[in-house]
Amino acid sequence: MAAALKGLHHFSAFTAKASLNYDFYTRVLGMRLVKKTVNQDDTSMYHLFYGDEKGNPGTELTFFEMPMAGRNRPGTSSISSLSLRVRSDEALEYWAKRLDEHGVDRDEVRDRAGRATLAFRDPEGQRLVLVSDEHGAGVAAGTPWELSPVPQEYGITGLGPVQLTVANAQPTVAVLTELMGFRRKGSFPAYEEGQPDVIVLETGEGGSGAEVHVEERYDLERERLGRGGVHHVAFRVEDEEELRAWVGRIQSAGFPNSGFVDRFYFRSLYFREPNGILFELATDGPGFDTDEELSELGETLALPPFLEGRREQIEANLKPIDTKR
């Protein structure tokens, strides 16, 4: 039998400009580029992984580069916002000033699900929320990189709640609770007047690193995914044995799925829930230091062994990113 999911593993989104993306997430947000690689299903595009000091599971924010992608059109059947954890309410004060200094579009600090939060947008319109762990963290956070431009006490420590926006919440909530083992934690008022409360679900040890927020919106069209949009959310499983148990569980429930997939840095399973949002289950290991020294993560193009023989061709199709400025 498959064990409970441990929490959030990673988020994967789209960018049209890898260099702009790298500048913002490392130099403004202070995250570490822990792996510069390619989309294993389409090696013509970069896949960039940002995280804590070593890219621990639960800290990874990743981007596929699609240079010709149109702007994301928000709507239903979407992963509508991503959260990043910080240690304290005081850290949000630091971030409000830092975002202003860098000309970042942001909101005011507000309460979401009982936590202080600060919402903002990256240069391509990606919707992000900084969330304070001051009043109960739940699943353990990561450790900010000591060489980050952001002081460690204010640094981003991992992934916080992910928000799903759907036209009908019931089937999505049913999959999360009845199939995937999430628990109902409560709800909080919707951001738009007249809309249903946002449902809060949690798994594993709970807390901000293990929550899904489900927003039901009757008034929106379906999302048109593009740059500034989110491709999928991944949830943590302990190891390959657990993942294979989940493969059986998802298949038995009748969901079309990818089956077991070896991503080299972790193993995966993909499937879509009833509203069409792509879910991934991913193992905690082997990790990003499998093929690079910890001190050198992200500095060169890393390719898994099954792509290494095509390195010359792959590199010829990629525009270099300067990661050493």
Q: What is the mean pLDDT of residues 74-96?
A: 98
Predicted local distance difference test score (pLDDT) of residue 56: 98
Q: Mind listing the pLDDT tens digit for each residue in 104-130?
A: 999 999 999 999 999 999 999 999 999
Query: 3 falls in which pLDDT band (50, 70, 90)?
Result: confident
Residue 2 lies in a domain: no
Residue 185 lies in a domain: yes
Q: Mind listing the pLDDT tens digit for each residue in 218-239?
A: 999 999 999 999 999 999 999 9
- CA separation for the pair 199, 58 (Å, rounded): 21
Chain-centre distance for alpha carbon 151: 22
Residue 141 lies in a domain: yes
- CA separation for the pair 131, 109 (Å, rounded): 10
Q: Mind listing the pLDDT tens digit for each residue in 28-77?
A: 999 999 999 999 999 999 999 999 999 999 999 999 999 999 999 999 99
Residue 169 lies in a domain: yes
Q: Is the pTM of this model over 0.85?
A: yes
- CA separation for the pair 43, 303 (Å, rounded): 10
What region does 10 belong to: left with phi over 0, alpha with psi -120 to 50, or beta?
beta
Q: Which residue segment(s) compose the domain that 281 sits in?
A: 8-316
- Angle in degrees, CA 13, 248, 180, rounded to 5: 55
Q: Mind listing the pLDDT tens digit for each residue in 153-169?
A: 999 999 999 999 999 99
Predicted local distance difference test score (pLDDT) of residue 194: 87
**Cα(first)–Cα(last) distance of the chain, in Å?**
49
Amino acid at site 179: L
How many folded domains does the chain comprise?
Answer: 1
- CA separation for the pair 7, 203 (Å, rounded): 6
- CA separation for the pair 266, 271 (Å, rounded): 17
List the helix and strand counts (H, then E) for the chain: 6, 16
Burial of 30 (C-beta count, 10 Å sphere; 0-12/13-18/19+): buried
Residue 243 lies in a domain: yes
Residue 322 lies in a domain: no
Q: What is the CATH number of the domain that holds 13?
A: 3.10.180.10
Kindly provide the residue ranges of all beta strands, DSSP E only, lying in 263-320, ordered along the sequence: 266-272, 278-286
Of 20, 83, 28, 70, nearest to 46 by C-alpha is 20
Residue 198 lies in a domain: yes
Q: Is the pLDDT of residue 137 over 80?
A: no
Question: Are the C-beta atoms of 54 and 288 separated by less than 8 Å?
Answer: yes
Residue 1 lies in a domain: no
